[in-house]
């Protein structure tokens, strides 16, 4: 599989940036809005945006159950920011009735750093991606409050708060590599797609 066929969930959020990052790495990228779109790809990116809105739209478009089934069947998925919240099994401060797709054995706190004005950038050491630090941009970002037995922390801030996790073919980051030209997480995701 030379050019892995991957989707970006295109209901809301920074869809274009992820599609560009994956295209830059040679992937065949499809925008996923309906169950038949999901059935045509081998991996899915859940972009940053507003997790509660993406949750509602996924149900309105009949996507929640197909995504949950794809996760259960082992489809690789990568969630950034809101996407990480959507992949978490548990959220501590979801809005009333908010649901997730689940799959990552983690507990996530939404908007852990406050509003837009509390956005920040920092460099993270992520040995799995090589020696060079990853420049990470946090925008109304969540944090992983608890990493369960099934999941693994890939990166944490200097205060120990976890901001990147992996569990099998599922990957989640609190930050937005697609916005900084950082391609190693997308490359790692494509490796997971090829391995699946």
Arithmetic mean of pLDDT, 96-116: 91
Distance in angstroms (rounded) separating the CA atoms of residues 165 and 24: 24
Quote the pLDDT of residue 111. Answer: 84
Quote the pLDDT of residue 2. Answer: 72
Distance in angstroms (rounded) separating the CA atoms of residues 54 and 135: 26
Quote the pLDDT of residue 13. Answer: 93
Give residue 178's pLDDT band: very low, low, confident or very high (50, 70, 90).
very high
Is the predicted pLDDT of residue 94 greater than 80, yes or no?
Answer: yes
> 132 is in which domain, residue-wise?
5-195
Q: At 45, which CATH number?
A: 3.40.50.880
Quote the pLDDT of residue 80. Answer: 97
pLDDT single digits (tens) 125-172: 999 999 999 999 999 899 999 999 999 999 999 999 999 999 999 999
H or E segment and range at residue 187: helix 184-195
- Predicted structure pTM score: 0.96
Q: How is residue 115 written in tokens?
A: 């509003």
Quote the pLDDT of residue 11. Answer: 97
The interaxial angle of helices 51-60 and 64-72, nearest 10 deg, is 100
Burial class of residue 100 in the structure, from the number of CB atoms within 10 Å of its CB (0-12 exposed, 13-18 middle, 19+ buried): buried
Quote the pLDDT of residue 134. Answer: 95
Quote the pLDDT of residue 64. Answer: 98
The proportion of the chain whose per-residue pLDDT surpasses 70, expressed as a percent, equals 99
Arithmetic mean of pLDDT, 78-97: 95
Report the number of distinct structural domains present in the chain: 1
Distance in angstroms (rounded) separating the CA atoms of residues 136 and 131: 15
The interaxial angle of helices 15-24 and 184-195, nearest 10 deg, is 70
Q: Of 114 and 15, which is predicted with more confidence?
A: 15
CA 63 vs CA 1, 10, 30, 100: distances in Å: 26, 11, 15, 12
- CB neighbours (10 Å) of residue 126? 21
Quote the pLDDT of residue 114. Answer: 77
Distance in angstroms (rounded) separating the CA atoms of residues 171 and 117: 27
List the catalytic residues: 81, 176, 178
pLDDT single digits (tens) 31-69: 999 999 999 999 999 999 999 999 999 999 999 999 999
């Amino acid at each position: 599989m030379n050019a892995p066929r991957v989707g970006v969930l295109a209901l809301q959020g920074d869809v274009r940036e992820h599609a560009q990052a994956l295209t830059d790495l040679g992937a065949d990228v499809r925008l996923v809005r309906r169950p038949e779109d999901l059935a045509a790809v081998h991996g899915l990116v859940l972009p940053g945006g507003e997790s509660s809105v993406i949750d509602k739209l996924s149900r309105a478009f009949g996507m929640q159950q197909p995504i949950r089934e794809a996760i259960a069947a082992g489809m690789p998925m990568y969630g950034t920011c809101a996407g990480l919240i959507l992949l978490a099994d548990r959220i501590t401060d979801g809005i009333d009735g908010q649901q997730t797709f689940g799959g990552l054995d983690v507990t996530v706190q939404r908007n852990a750093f406050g509003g837009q004005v509390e956005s920040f950038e920092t460099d993270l050491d992520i040995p799995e991606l090589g020696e060079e630090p990853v420049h990470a941009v946090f925008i109304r970002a969540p944090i992983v409050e608890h990493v369960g037995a099934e999941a693994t922390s890939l990166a944490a801030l200097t205060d120990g708060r976890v901001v990147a996790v992996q569990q099998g073919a599922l990957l989640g980051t609190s930050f937005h590599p697609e916005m900084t030209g950082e391609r190693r997480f997308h490359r790692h995701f494509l490796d997971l797609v090829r391995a699946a």
